[in-house]
């Protein structure tokens, strides 16, 4: 597969072709996403919630993020993938005024995690300065504005952003600052569709939406949410209302596990078919 890059994504926007992006957190999810030919694979800090069971994304460490990136990278390599791999910089790894800290941490995603680029949240003046520093250091940066979940304690909850004219203007300004700082694209999370469309038309770089309507340059969803990894016949899986469920993988997992339990208890498994190791007749006699 030809390699997806900042340049090829920009070309997609210019040609009016949509960009696909999905998260992956480990070897099997990476293999699946790569085999589907998804353009961009994001090792999201959503790993904190969907893989590690935390309430917010604030709890995943830099070391843990790198660990997940390494396994995703091996999955992409195994699949012979040309997808672009992006590592999500976690809460606390890039916010300091000393932008050297952010750059050093960004290099870890490239050198240890095998990433092609990093993502960071927010579009303030200071955040744009950090993005510029990282780009200047040679690492491509994906911005992220609108709902920025790492700032949950400031925002007060997972809710839509940019719903007034003034607030929408602020989201646009954030996106413009990130473009000026050299970001190659920007994620727009949970903003009204008309706002996301206007931002997309104003920016030269692509926008990748999540809960932002159909007017963006591309779409991103979280692997576990879109595939129903925790779906169950009798327990509701919480999935954000903007997320379409393309599968109910949890149902298949439950079917397999329940059958295994029943067959162990009834003695159907393993049976002759799954008991492959035998002694020669002579050894058997000596043993008996
Ligand atoms: O962590 C994540 O999964 C993300 C995407 C939703 C953009 O940041
Ligand atoms: Na994230």
Ligand 1 nearest atom to the CA of residue 47, by list position: 1
> For 144-196, how does the pLDDT look when each residue is reduced to its tens digit (9 = 90+)?
999 999 999 999 999 999 999 999 999 999 999 999 999 999 999 999 999 99
pLDDT of residue 237: 86
Q: Kindly report the protein residue whose alpha carbon is nearest to atom 2 of ligand 1.
A: 44
- Over residues 235-257, the pLDDT tens digits come to 988 999 999 999 999 999 999 99
Check residue 2 and give its pLDDT: 87
Question: Catalytic residue numbers?
Answer: 189
All structural domains of the chain: 6-247 (3.20.20.60), 251-287 (no CATH)
Residue 249: predicted pLDDT: 98
Q: Whose CA is nearest to atom 5 of ligand 1?
A: 44
CA distance 202 to 215: 12
Q: What tokens were used for 123?
A: 């579009």
Sorted by sequence, the CB contacts under 8 Å of residue 26 that are 6+ apart come out as 51, 68, 71, 72, 75
Which candidate, 97, 126, 134, 118, places its Cα nearest to that of 187? 118
The residues pairing with 220 across neighbouring beta strands, listed in sequence order, are: 21
Q: What is the mean pLDDT of residues 124-137?
A: 98
Task: Measure CA of the first residue to CA of the last residue in the chain; give whole Å.
Answer: 58
Residue in the structure block whose two tokens are 């059958």? 259
Q: Return all residues near 184 (Cβ < 8 A) that are at least 6 apart.
A: 6, 9, 10, 117, 140, 141, 142, 205, 206
DSSP tag of 142: E
Q: Is 23 touching ligand 1 by the criterion CB < 6 Å?
A: yes
**CB-ligand 1 contact for 46 (6 Å cutoff):** yes
Global ipTM: 0.99
């Amino acid at each position: 597969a030809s390699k997806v890059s900042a340049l090829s994504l920009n070309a997609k926007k210019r040609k009016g072709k949509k960009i696909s992006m999905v998260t992956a957190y480990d070897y099997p999810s990476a293999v699946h996403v790569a085999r589907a030919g998804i353009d961009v694979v994001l090792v999201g800090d959503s790993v904190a919630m969907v893989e590690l069971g935390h309430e917010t994304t604030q709890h995943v460490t830099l070391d843990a993020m790198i660990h997940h990136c390494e396994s995703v990278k091996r999955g992409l390599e195994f699949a012979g993938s040309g997808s672009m791999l992006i590592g999500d910089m976690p809460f606390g790894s890039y916010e300091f005024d000393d932008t050297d800290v952010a750059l050093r941490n960004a290099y870890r995603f490239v050198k240890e995690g095998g990433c092609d680029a990093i993502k960071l949240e927010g579009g303030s003046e200071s955040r744009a300065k950090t993005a510029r520093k990282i780009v200047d250091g040679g690492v491509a940066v994906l911005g992220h504005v609108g709902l920025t979940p790492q700032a949950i304690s400031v925002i007060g909850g997972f809710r839509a952003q940019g719903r007034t004219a003034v607030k929408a203007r602020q989201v646009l300004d954030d996106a413009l600052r990130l473009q000026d700082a050299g970001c190659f694209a920007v994620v727009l999370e949970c903003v009204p569709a008309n706002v996301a469309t206007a931002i997309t038309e104003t920016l030269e770089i692509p926008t990748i939406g999540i809960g932002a309507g159909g007017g963006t340059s591309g779409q991103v969803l979280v692997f576990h949410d879109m595939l129903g990894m925790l779906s169950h016949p009798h327990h509701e899986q919480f999935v954000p209302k903007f997320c379409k469920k393309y599968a109910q993988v949890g149902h298949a997992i439950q079917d397999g596990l329940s059958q295994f339990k029943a067959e162990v208890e009834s003695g159907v498994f393993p049976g002759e078919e799954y008991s492959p190791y035998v002694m020669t007749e002579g050894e058997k006699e000596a043993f008996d």
